[in-house]
Structure 1
Amino acid sequence: MKNVIIAGSGNAALCAGIAALENGAKVLMLEKADQDMSGGNTKYTAGAMRFAYENGSSLLPLLQNPDDPRIATTDFGSYPREKFASDLLGFNGGRPLSVEQETLVSESYDAMAWLSSHDVKFDPIYARQSFKKDGRDVFWGGLTLASANEGVGLFDQELDAFTRMGGEIRYNCAVTELVTDGDAVTGVKTSTRETLMADSVILACGGFEANADLRKTHIGDDWDKAKVRGTPHNTGDGLVMAQKLGAQTYGFFGGCHATPMDLHMVDYGNLDIPAGERKNYRKICYFLGVMLNAKGDRFVDEGINFRNYTYAQFGAAIMEQPEHFAWQIFDAKVADLLYAEYNFHDAHYVEAESLDELITKLDGVDQAGATATLSAYNDAVNDDVAFDPTVLDGKSTTGLALAKSNWAQKIDQGPFRAYPVTGGITFTYGGLKVNGQGCILHENGAPISGLYACGEMVGGVFFEGYPGGSGLTSGVVFGRRAGKGAAGS
């Protein structure tokens, strides 16, 4: 029986642990945080999983409640591998699909079925990924399922599976150093001053998003000011430890998963509220309105695509604006379409009965610029096309230097609301190079014996953007691979 140590306890770590256990290993998981803060970034997510599927019937084995009566009147559509690959390719900045991306696409459904076989189940995302149309729930954007209770629920289900299979987890126990014998990794040293020996070590301890100095070094000067949406514990420790052994860095270090966040959110999503509510600081309904920067200008095409494909890029775009903030502007026509986080008890916004009055309440914004921008936008909206949030409806503006390509409605019905946002960082893209078994490669191309990686530690999965839900699926795919590899199967 192989002894496997895993650093970290998030989605990827737990999937690695489950895979190692089912392949006959004894697994000890070491978590830097206390029990309440365990789980890495997983608890901060919406628990949504993007994967290729053929039709609604192929989703039924994955569901917590396949007998839900709503399913009979639901159109899930399909999300073929070719579409998943195309969506990833659209964020690659001209790069071809990487080996890691091809693996993510080809193994995504099997990974979900594998999780389901361990009683990790999912629910359709009716509240966020579907709209009512002709009496049916119509899903859009290829993202259909999430864990009940979102990221917290996913963590709980995976942890239950891990411990049920005999896995052990220790909290307040960070891996601080890798123990080696020659060129092979043979164990770890911990913050509790222990040396623990193992046949294999899996680094699943996240990227460097909670390290302001590393963000500034790798992503850019503005990024030391980004709000950290997730755990404070992902400070790049695994990357640093592996690099000391000559591990090959890989992927796009200048990119990260970002998202528009409440400007007044404290770092780490306000640790004083329950983990499941921290996601409510996201503000991703910009496609129903417009965003203005400090000059009063629009700076992105808010309707260029479904928000699943734009929020990571737009979160980064906000960080590039003067003073790193923007305002999201909505009118009463879309009030009932805004997601729950816009009515979250801690959401910050201003409200007014007229658009002119609203503009006076936009702190830090050039009011003349905002007035001109909103007036020009309203004049440019094409009223001849019907608004339909279930599709790329082509309801656009005409004649503007920066168009709104879909879902462009005039902002003309009070009351009006505006929400201040900034860029929130969730995870970083640059990581390490691994082989087909999840083993980390040395700079010379050879595997580092006994050392594996998964989750945010794996580079080459994402580059200049991110289709929503892919990150958790990547954790499952590469976590499963690393666990199996570390167990020697």
Structure 2
Amino acid sequence: MSANSYDCIVVGSGNAGSSAALSAIEAGCKRVLIVEKGPEEWVGGNGYFTAGAHRTVHGGLQDLSPIVTDVTPEVAATIDMDPYTAEQFTDDIVRLSDGRSNPAMVKAVVDGSRNAIGWLAQKVGMPFTFSFNRQAYLVNGRQKFWGGMVLSVVDGGKGVIAAHRRALEKAGVETWFEAPAVELVAHDGTVVGLVVERDGQRVTLHAPAVVLACGGFESSAELRGKYMSQDWTRAKVRGTPYNTGDGFALTRPVNASLTGDFSASGCHSTCWDANAQPDCGDRVLSNQFTKSGYPLGIMINARGQRFVDEGEDFRNYTYAKFGRAILHQPGGYAFQVWDSEAVEWLREEEYGDGIVEKIWAQSMEELAEVLLQKGLEDKATFVRTVEAYNAAVRVSKAENPSKTWDPAVKDGLSTVSSQPQPSVDPPKSNWALPLEQPPFLAVKVACGITFTFGGLAIDPDTAGVLDEKGERIRGLFATGEVVGGLFYGNYPGGSGLTAGAVFGRKAGAEAAKLAALRTQRA
């Protein structure tokens, strides 16, 4: 085998690409290469910037306890964790996509999720932990998990990529940094290699399998404007600056099929710190710029008006679309607001001192006055909005005295009542408490885009890329955020890393089969 010949070449060093490379080695590949567009200090793609959340089918605490790293029997005795079934996982993806997700893609992710998690824990050494700080609330001495998603990784996305890098080094997988892929090598419709730029020179690499794991186009303002809308050109890039649609450009000459949501709603986004830099994430603070505490309070736009139902559902079912909602507000920003009773429930990682600019006041009038210097345009409307919201909460509570506030369940505390007045639009469906206990806190948020939903069409059984006729392009595979057809409009939190691992494992296994065939023919 020549120096530039490999059994499998993977484009992208994130979670999905790393999973593909490790799976290829496990399945029998001898020489596997990862090529990464960015420098080594940007290793890990978008996976580095996540909270490390993994959504999976599971049988409850007893099922998952063996793979987590830091739960003592004493802590386990305080945990309330319901099983999460294949039916629930399927329903969550389909429900949030309004039924548009490709059923075969959904089935592949759901059915492969638990095995993928076990593989990551055992073969990769992923340090899984229960997501106490993001997916559970301590209520009456019990850790109550909610929203179906219970697993995270020690040190979040940083821990995800660190585990992969250790495993890749141990497996002997080579990585080239600052080596963007520029062209697929194809003969008679079969992909047989890849051209990359390295040290200012074009290098032709040969392999029976190329796996694309190079992300979507969310880091390109130009492509966001082209495929989604001009509003999206002003979104803040949450993660890597290197996901600029390279997978689409690479596969155009081989007539790869695009699929999925390329509309103005076609991405994962989130409530993001308005003061974060616009064009890439921060390698130190990473996911701490997320501002997910809105279900505990309200969000008000520049004109002083609410614009979403903050309590519509658990945070991990709404944040991907509420980021988009903020983007479409005047100026592309909003204010999250709480009173002192709710502030103590905010996550320290996201709202701690030194993490976010906190705007405090002793009254709503004073808060509105201060916010005028931060982009609020209408002080009087802001105050009236809060007053109307408070009144509606009180009336609803008076009609439903048995309902009690509980952040770990959809508690039904809302602004809805039988009285025509006061009423608010949109309503708040859960976790509605009046904002009346000073001091009051506000933070300014914008839209942070994570990844785009439109992407390459793949065969869900093999992760093989499909051409425009729906046939597999031999030798070409894809996984991670470059893949389309799974998510539309919204996204159940924790599904992305899981899907990347599921399809990465499939791609790696298929690559090994092609490598074995090449060896047999040699």
TM-score range, shorter chain: over 0.9
Could you state the TM-score of these two structures normalised by the residue count of structure 2? 0.91
**TM-fit CA distance, 1:72:** 2.1
1:379 partnered with 2:386: no
- In structure 1, the residue corresponding to 2:83 is in which secondary structure? coil
**TM-fit CA distance, 1:269:** 5.0
**Could you tell me which residue of structure 1 aligns to residue 413 of structure 2?**
395
Q: Distance in 2 between matches of 1:68 and 1:33?
A: 43
**Could you tell me which residue of structure 1 aligns to residue 23 of structure 2?**
19
Q: Distance in 2 between matches of 1:394 and 1:162?
A: 48
Q: Distance in 1 between matches of 2:42 and 2:379?
A: 42
**Could you tell me which residue of structure 1 aligns to residue 155 of structure 2?**
149
Comparing 28-37 and 159-168, the one that deviates more? 159-168
1:433 partnered with 2:454: no
2:63 to 58, 61, 66: 58
Q: Which runs of 5+ in 2 are unaligned?
A: 417-422, 515-522
**Could you tell me which residue of structure 2 aligns to residue 460 of structure 1?**
485
**TM-fit CA distance, 1:445:** 1.9
What stretches of structure 1 move > 2 A for 4+ residues in a row?
A: 65-69, 93-98, 267-271, 382-385, 398-401
Alignment of 1:84-483 (within 5 A): 84-95=89-100, 98-118=103-123, 119-192=125-198, 193-254=202-263, 255-268=266-279, 270-271=281-282, 275-340=283-348, 341-362=350-371, 363-365=374-376, 366-381=378-393, 382-383=396-397, 384=401, 385-398=403-416, 399-435=423-459, 436-483=461-508
**TM-fit CA distance, 1:270:** 5.0
Q: Distance in 1 between matches of 2:379 and 2:67?
A: 51
Q: Is the 8 A contact 1:150 1:276 kept in 2?
A: no
Q: Distance in 1 between matches of 2:275 and 2:103?
A: 37
**TM-fit CA distance, 1:34:** 1.3
Q: Distance in 1 between matches of 2:321 and 2:310?
A: 11
Q: Distance in 1 between matches of 2:241 and 2:299?
A: 29
Q: Is the 8 A contact 2:127 2:159 kept in 1?
A: no
Q: CA RMSD in A?
A: 1.5
Pair 1:54–1:282, CA change in 2 (3 A): same
Counterpart code for 2:197: S
Pair 1:104–1:270, CA change in 2 (3 A): closer
**Could you tell me which residue of structure 1 aligns to residue 419 of structure 2?**
none
Counterpart code for 1:259: T
**Cα deviations by residue, 1:334-374 (Å, 9 ceiling, x for unpaired):** 11111121115141231111111001122332111111111
**TM-fit CA distance, 1:401:** 2.8
**Could you tell me which residue of structure 1 aligns to residue 519 of structure 2?**
none
Count of residue correspondences: 486
Q: Distance in 2 between matches of 1:311 and 1:276?
A: 22
Q: Is the 8 A contact 1:152 1:276 kept in 2?
A: no
Counterpart code for 1:389: P
Q: Is the 8 A contact 1:53 1:78 kept in 2?
A: yes
Q: Is the 8 A contact 2:101 2:488 kept in 1?
A: no
| Paired-residue identity, % | 41
- In structure 1, the residue corresponding to 2:41 is in which secondary structure? coil
**Cα deviations by residue, 1:265-313 (Å, 9 ceiling, x for unpaired):** 1025554xxx252211111110011001122111100001100000001
Q: Distance in 1 between matches of 2:365 and 2:280?
A: 32
Q: Is the 8 A contact 2:16 2:480 kept in 1?
A: yes
**Cα deviations by residue, 1:387-432 (Å, 9 ceiling, x for unpaired):** 1101000000123231100000000111111111111100000011
Instruction: Say which one has the larger Rg.
Output: 2
Counterpart code for 2:138: K
Q: Distance in 2 between matches of 1:178 and 1:308?
A: 37
**TM-fit CA distance, 1:320:** 1.1
Comparing 358-367 and 93-102, the one that deviates more? 93-102
Comparing 168-177 and 9-18, the one that deviates more? 168-177
Pair 1:244–1:97, CA change in 2 (3 A): closer
**TM-fit CA distance, 1:67:** 3.8
**Cα deviations by residue, 1:151-196 (Å, 9 ceiling, x for unpaired):** 0101111221122122111111111111122211111111212111
Counterpart code for 1:369: T
Q: Is the 8 A contact 2:101 2:485 kept in 1?
A: no
**Could you tell me which residue of structure 1 aligns to residue 14 of structure 2?**
10
Q: Is the 8 A contact 1:313 1:464 kept in 2?
A: yes
**Cα deviations by residue, 1:178-225 (Å, 9 ceiling, x for unpaired):** 112221111111121211111111110100000111101111110011
Comparing 450-459 and 69-78, the one that deviates more? 69-78
Q: Distance in 2 between matches of 1:115 and 1:344?
A: 34
**TM-fit CA distance, 1:92:** 1.5
Q: Distance in 1 between matches of 2:90 and 2:113?
A: 11
Q: Which runs of 5+ in 1 are unaligned?
A: none
- In structure 2, the residue corresponding to 1:194 is in which secondary structure? strand
Q: Distance in 2 between matches of 1:270 and 1:14?
A: 20
Q: Distance in 1 between matches of 2:304 and 2:384?
A: 8
Q: Distance in 1 between matches of 2:64 and 2:432?
A: 33
Counterpart code for 1:237: D
Q: Distance in 2 between matches of 1:270 and 1:123?
A: 24
Q: Distance in 1 between matches of 2:9 and 2:485?
A: 24
**TM-fit CA distance, 1:68:** 5.4
Pair 1:270–1:158, CA change in 2 (3 A): closer
Q: Is the 8 A contact 1:185 1:200 kept in 2?
A: yes
